[in-house]
Structure 1
Amino acid sequence: MHLNIMEKSELNNNHINSSFQREKWFGHEFLYEFHGFWFTKTYLETTQKVLENFKPHPKDVILASFPKTGTTWLKALLHSITHRYDTKDENSLTFNHPQELIPSLETNLYVQEIPQNNTNSQEFISTKNPQKSRILATHIPYQIFGGVLNSSDCKVVYVTRNPKDTLISLWHFLRKSKNFEQDPWELGAAVDQFCKGIVPFGSYYDHVLAYREESLKRPQKVHFVTYEELKENPKNCVEKMGEFLGCPFEGENREEEIEEIVKICSFEKLSNQEVNKSSELPKVFPLPYNSFYRKGQVGDHMNYLEDEMIEKIDNITREKFHGIGFMYGI
């Protein structure tokens, strides 16, 4: 069950201190438990702001995901699908990182006051027009965020990825942090904590299953797609997302339109854009723009995880996923 309004207020009456169970992560970071999920101090604070302040519009699209499961790629795809007839937007992915085109609620919009010159983010926060379609991203679990999502007719697109590739992608991502150099997150410890669910926004398994369950119950509300499906058949996935979002590909040029979106949003194309190779830091994120692109490969975990590590994660996957008929992740 997702949080009700009374439960949300719990954060208002508690400071992030010893009243929250916490676990050491890496560097000087701790993770704090809230309703069965784990957050950094910053993410717990910004999640509170999202729960208190965010009101989705009926035409909003919320891109939900567990960290490092293909979020940046989906941002590019969703933006391209919904803006494909906007001539003013033709070169947006050339000059803008997907993270700027589709801001994340708890890591962009509510992490601090938005600078006045950041007009795009200001518009996302302040717009009062419920007819204006916005695309916003979040990592907040459905169990916590479901009440907000269900308060309007907004649509949700959820992407997930093989748990082992997700862990390795997260591990590499964090290696670019200064805290990692001071106190590394050793791979063995990373596997242990991932299996226990003690990672940001974890448990991974509970995160995935709640959104998947909603997609099965209400496919018109939640569209569930895997990273592996996107890699194997991107044209089919783009077509289905267009239909789900209410902007289907139609007419004699539909195949060309789909192929063009797949092309401009390919990993090779995006990772080679100058804006995405930049070592500059976003205004409200501690890692550079180029940290969001590495390999984008399926099965990359085999280059890093030892056999016993793979088996440990697979055992959890069999229990959590295969045990309820979701044959995924192994």
Structure 2
Amino acid sequence: MWCQPAEIQAISAFQKHFQAKDSDIVVASIPKSGTTWLKALTFAIVNRHRFNISSKNYNNPLLTSNPHDLVPFFEYKVYEKNQVPDLSKLPEPRLFGTHIPFPSLFNSIKESNCKIIYICRNPFDTFVSSWHFSNKIKQGSSPQLTLEEAFEMYCKGIVGFGPFWTHMLGYWKESLETPNKVQFLKYEDLKGDINSHLKSIAKFLDCPFTLEEERQGVIEDIINLCSFKNMKGLEVNKSGKSIKNFDNKNLFSKGEIGDWVNHFSPGMVEKLSIVLEEKLCGSGLWFRPS
């Protein structure tokens, strides 16, 4: 996979030292595919009995902390700078996040009964979101990538934690083989029917919603609390840095489906469609062009 030197050091420390617990929950994803949203939703679902999930309850950590602080990345925070933290006393279930491909996850995760929730997004939209984000975080005199330059790299698999098709297929195949351990989500499906998917996620995490909770509107409260509009408007998500040197405000872009049509030429559509057809052929995993 492609990643930066500091990330390689962190991943190495993670692989050497992390000891998974059966109660652990790992939110895995391709960058720019709904990671922040899924982290917020997962935190709210798992902790709904500890913290009131009403958006008016300012004691809820999601209103005062960025989701990436509540569900920290192995490679960006937990093992940042090659540190080896003591994680044994964290309250259970412990929540972690990662962009690391499945084959590179530490064996203790694979051999434990911990849960992995994976989310990916239509590669057309993922590319556009990644291109915008990478140019936003360029520092100093670093040249910005043109759309054409970034697209050529993307189609060759030269993208953070990619190739993107290898990343998706790793978790996809594992979700088919061990559906009780890995849940595979598409951003478009989650956004299209979030109510049903939250029920599915809660059931997968062994903390299903009760009929009484459903009648009381708990699912709708979680949806509203973690909505793009609500999360983007919070002061904690307008300033500060929760991941490396990335400004929190840049973690919330448009969150739209189909924005790629405003950037792709017909030739680009054809080329990426061919890449997807070749790389995903026979896997059962597919994406609509729009």
Aligned to 1:300: 259
Report deviation, 1:318.
1.3
Aligned to 1:104: 73
> Separation in 2 of the partners of 1:154 and 1:209?
20
Aligned to 1:73: 37
Report deviation, 1:79.
0.3
Aligned to 2:3: 39
Please give the residue correspondences for 1:223-238 in structure 2 after superposition, counting only pairs within 5 Å: 223-238=183-198
Aligned to 2:13: 49
Counterpart amino acid of 1:315? Answer: I
TM-superposition CA deviations, 1:38-94 (whole Å, max 9, x none): 111121121111111111111000111111111100010000000101137852111
Q: Is the 8 A contact 1:314 1:329 kept in 2?
A: no
Counterpart amino acid of 2:40? Answer: A
2:238 aligned with 1:277: yes
Aligned to 2:219: 258
Counterpart amino acid of 2:36? Answer: T
Aligned to 2:23: 59
> Separation in 2 of the partners of 1:131 and 1:154?
15
Aligned to 2:284: 325
Q: Is the 8 A contact 1:57 1:130 kept in 2?
A: no
Q: What is the TM-score when the length of structure 2 is the normalising length?
A: 0.91
Over 3 Å counting, the alpha-carbon distance change for 1:324 and 1:153 in structure 2 is closer
Report deviation, 1:226.
0.6
Q: CA RMSD for the aligned pairs?
A: 2.0
Q: Is the 8 A contact 2:138 2:144 kept in 1?
A: no
Over 3 Å counting, the alpha-carbon distance change for 1:239 and 1:306 in structure 2 is same
> Secondary structure of 1:325's match?
coil
Over 3 Å counting, the alpha-carbon distance change for 1:180 and 1:75 in structure 2 is farther
2:160 aligned with 1:200: yes
Of structures 1 and 2, the one scoring higher in RCO (CA 8 A, sep 6+) is 2
Report deviation, 1:102.
0.7
Aligned to 2:93: 133
5+ residue gaps, structure 1, are: 1-36, 115-121
5+ residue gaps, structure 2, are: 54-58
Aligned to 1:178: 138
> Separation in 2 of the partners of 1:306 and 1:180?
30
Counterpart amino acid of 2:212? Answer: E
Aligned to 1:151: 111
Report deviation, 1:180.
7.7
Report deviation, 1:326.
2.0
Q: What is the TM-score when the length of structure 1 is the normalising length?
A: 0.81
Aligned to 1:118: none
> Separation in 2 of the partners of 1:180 and 1:173?
16
Question: Percent identical across equivalent pairs?
Answer: 34
> Secondary structure of 1:38's match?
coil
> Secondary structure of 1:150's match?
helix
> Separation in 1 of the partners of 2:20 and 2:122?
29
Aligned to 1:8: none
> Separation in 1 of the partners of 2:173 and 2:107?
15
